[in-house]
A and B are shown apart, each in its own frame.
Chain A
């Protein structure tokens, strides 16, 4: 069974704080993703990584950065949290190679920035 875990289910931070969200997968997946989920806006891709130390911007990368030092771990960093970054953050992973594209999601981190 694929397991994707996220470091926190709920997080409350103050404006201007540096925030780290961590994601770990146990299936040796090459691809990892960070999404933000807001009502009516679906799943918007922030960043993704297809290999260790590799990253690509998604649709809404502004205000975020990522780090992937190990294959199983993908971190999302909010350098200076702002109230408009209050949201649900979902991590996902998938295998690479033809025919293997299902994404497995973590449980999500609900971040509130006050």
Chain B
């Protein structure tokens, strides 16, 4: 089955700096890669996703890049703010399979 590895497990940055979280996946057939943000005490929510026919996607301060050959994808957050502090999960799936395999999560702390 699919295996997703996520790094780093914790990340601390100064407000205004950029943050990068990286994930690798094992199943070359995976074609959908969502990122979820979970604030303390709240449920995970989708913040951005990318499909395998696209190499990069951007939404304001967040962007995701995908390298299908290397089987890795990354989340980039620019101009970080304290409210970006949360746990971020990457995931990989087949769009016709329903389920996703999640990474172990990255705890991002943005220091004011």
Q: Which of B1, B45, B99, B101 contacts A105 (CB 8 A)?
A: B45
Cβ of A61 within 8 Å of any chain B Cβ, yes or no, is no
Collect the chain A residues with CB atoms within 8 Å of residue B101's CB: 45
Complex Cα–Cα for A102 and B42 (A): 17
Take A40-B9, A43-B89 as given contacts and tell me if A48 and B43 are in contact as well, using a CB distance cutoff of 8 Å. Answer: no
Collect the chain B residues with CB atoms within 8 Å of residue A58's CB: 99
Complex Cα–Cα for A96 and B32 (A): 13
Q: Determine whether the beta carbon of B49 is less than 8 Å from that of A102.
A: yes
Cβ of A90 within 8 Å of any chain B Cβ, yes or no, is yes
16 contacts between A and B (CB under 8 A): A31-B98, A40-B9, A41-B104, A42-B89, A43-B102, A44-B102, A45-B101, A48-B98, A56-B99, A96-B98, A98-B96, A99-B95, A101-B32, A101-B34, A102-B49, A105-B43
Collect the chain B residues with CB atoms within 8 Å of residue A96's CB: 98
Q: Determine whether the beta carbon of B32 is less than 8 Å from that of A105.
A: no
Chain A residue nearest in CB terms to B105: A42
Chain A residue nearest in CB terms to B33: A101
Query: Which positions 3-55 of chain A face chain B at CB distance < 8 Å?
Result: 30-31, 33, 35, 40-45, 48, 50
Collect the chain B residues with CB atoms within 8 Å of residue A56's CB: 99
